[in-house]
Structure 1
Amino acid sequence: MRIDKYLWCVRYFKTRNKATEACKKGHVKINEQQVKPSREVFPTDKIELRKNQINYQIEVLDIPKNRVGAKIVDLYRKDTTPQEAFEHTGLLKYSKDYYRKKGSGRPTKKDRRDIDDYLEDGEG
């Protein structure tokens, strides 16, 4: 099975086209080598995939015939991604707060709703 189809079948990408684009951009490696979307996948292959700033590490256990349900995905792949990769995304959320401090600039939609709710409560 092709690598782009495999990644779509085991639900790492929502569409096969997105899986193909990731392969073309070099975000997918099989056994430490960058691959084209047409590269065949076999059991025991080790896939490294970069998606949403996380480096996933997957081991192929079996090849599905079609796209599989989320509950049975673990029959076809073993996710060996270290926990530190997921913790890194939590730190990225904190760094984004640094760029726009609360109270600076225009209020957000949520801020405006909170202000409106406060003003309505004060009148009645």
Structure 2
Amino acid sequence: MDTTRIDKWCWAARFFKTRSLATEAIDRGRVRLNGDATKPSHNVRVGDRLKIDNGSTEWEVLVTGIADKRGSAAIAATLYGETEDSVRRREAEAERHRLFREPSAQIKGRPTKRDRRLLDRSSS
């Protein structure tokens, strides 16, 4: 097998939890094949470059393997190679989140009266 649908590949490579989420992301233009928007039924080949935005992370990868069935994470990692630029961007983003946390990230659910006072104090 040398080609497979791009939505199946994104799901098998574990960029999306379900195939329908992969299809929706491709329809919305969040997955680009060789720099161009594409359709979920388009075939992906070894050597293609994909730019994937799964909502929480942006990836730029080169396709190194083809699969249309979802396997283990170890197998999924062999299907692509992330570009150096993409790795640097993701690490910088993780560092930024580590240094500048959202004030509400520590509060679970609706803030209590005490939490609200702490939020008000830290914002002024």
TM-score (norm 1): 0.71
Q: Summarize deviations over 1:7-64 as a string: whole Å, max 9, x none.
A: 0001111100000010011100010001111111011000001123432011111212
Q: Summarize deviations over 1:65-91 as a string: whole Å, max 9, x none.
A: 411210122322112222222422442
What's the CA shift for 1:6?
0.3
Aligned to 2:47: 44
Aligned to 1:115: none
Gaps of 5+ in 2: 119-124
Give the number of equivalent residue pairs.
106
The within-5 A match list for 1:34-113 is 34-80=37-83, 81-92=86-97, 94=100, 96-97=102-103, 106-108=113-115
Distance in structure 2 (CA, Å) of the matches to 1:2 and 1:65: 8
The one-letter code sitting in structure 1 at the alignment partner of 2:90 is A
Percent of pairs with identical residues: 26
Query: Which one is further off, 76-85 or 24-33?
Result: 76-85
CA RMSD of aligned residues (A): 2.7
Structure with larger Rg: 1
Choose from 3, 10, 15 the match for 1:12. Answer: 15
Distance in structure 1 (CA, Å) of the matches to 2:70 and 2:52: 18
TM-score (norm 2): 0.71
Gaps of 5+ in 1: 112-124
Note if contact 1:64-1:76 (Cα within 8 Å) is conserved in structure 2.
yes
SS in 1 for 2:50: strand
